[in-house]
Amino acid sequence: MKIDVKPLLEKQGKWQKSRKAVSWGDKIRQSEAARDSLGSFAYSVAKSRKHLWSIREGLEES
Amino acid sequence: MRELIELIDEMLRANVVQNYAVFGALAQMRYTESVVTMDADILIGVEDDSIAVLSPIYAFCRERGYLPEGEAIRVGAWPVQFIPAFDALSRDAMLLAEVGDIDGLAVRVVRADYLAVMALKVGRAKDRLRILALIESDAVQSVEIENLAKQFELENMWMKFKEQFLNEN
Are residues B142 and B79 part of one domain? no
Is the pLDDT at A48 greater than 90? The verdict is no
- State the pLDDT confidence band at A38, using cuts at 50, 70 and 90: confident
Residue pair B120/B135 in contact (Cβ under 8 Å)? The answer is no
- Residue B63 or residue B38, greater confidence: B63
- Residue A2 or residue B44, greater confidence: B44
Pairing of β B72-75 and β B78-84: antiparallel
Which helix (H) or strand (E) segment holds residue B22: the answer is strand B19-23
- Chain B environment of A4 (Cβ under 8 Å): 167
Which residue among A16, A19, A27 sits closest to B136, beta carbon to beta carbon?
A: A16
pLDDT, residue B62, reads 97
How many Cα atoms are found within 13 Å in the side-chain-facing hemisphere of B74? 7
Output the pTM of the full model.
Answer: 0.81
Pairing of β B72-75 and β B105-109: unpaired
Residue that finishes a domain, picked among B64, B84, B110: B110
How far apart CA B20 and CA B42 sit, in angstroms, is 7
Is the pLDDT at A57 greater than 90? The verdict is no
Residues of A contacting chain B (CB within 8 angstroms): 1-6, 9-10, 12-13, 16, 19, 22-25, 27-32, 34-35, 38
Q: Are the Cβ atoms of B34 and A30 closer than 8 angstroms?
A: yes
Site from B5, B23, B33 to mutate, A interface, most A CB atoms within 10 angstroms: B33
Residue pair B151/B165 in contact (Cβ under 8 Å)? The answer is no
Are residues B100 and B46 part of one domain? yes
Are residues B128 and B80 part of one domain? no
Residues of the domain holding B34: 2-110
Contacts of B6 (CB under 8 A, 6+ apart): B105
Domains identified in chain B, total number: 2
CATH number at residue B92: 3.30.460.40
Are residues B137 and B118 part of one domain? yes
Nearest CA in chain B to A12: B136
pLDDT, residue A51, reads 67
- Where is mean pLDDT largest: A33-42, B6-15, B48-57? B6-15
Q: Are the Cβ atoms of B166 and A5 closer than 8 angstroms?
A: yes
pLDDT, residue A10, reads 76
Residue that finishes a domain, picked among B81, B110, B139: B110
Q: What is the mean pLDDT of residues A42-48?
A: 64
pLDDT, residue A4, reads 74
Are residues B89 and B120 part of one domain? no
Min distance A62 CA to chain B CA atoms (Å): 40
Is the pLDDT at A14 greater than 90? The verdict is no
Are residues B97 and B15 part of one domain? yes
- State the pLDDT confidence band at A26, using cuts at 50, 70 and 90: very high
Nearest CA in chain A to B36: A31
Is the pLDDT at B169 greater than 70? The verdict is no
Which residue among A4, A27, A35 sits closest to B33, beta carbon to beta carbon?
A: A27
How many Cβ atoms from other residues are within 10 Å of residue A53's Cβ? 10
Are residues B88 and B46 part of one domain? yes
pLDDT, residue B113, reads 98
Q: What is the DSSP letter of A3?
A: -
How far apart CA B54 and CA B32 sit, in angstroms, is 31
Q: What is the mean pLDDT of residues B31-58?
A: 88
Are residues B133 and B61 part of one domain? no
> Residue B101, SS3?
strand
Are residues B73 and B147 part of one domain? no
pLDDT tens sequence across B68-102 = 998 899 999 899 999 999 899 999 999 999 999 99
Residue that finishes a domain, picked among B62, B93, B110: B110
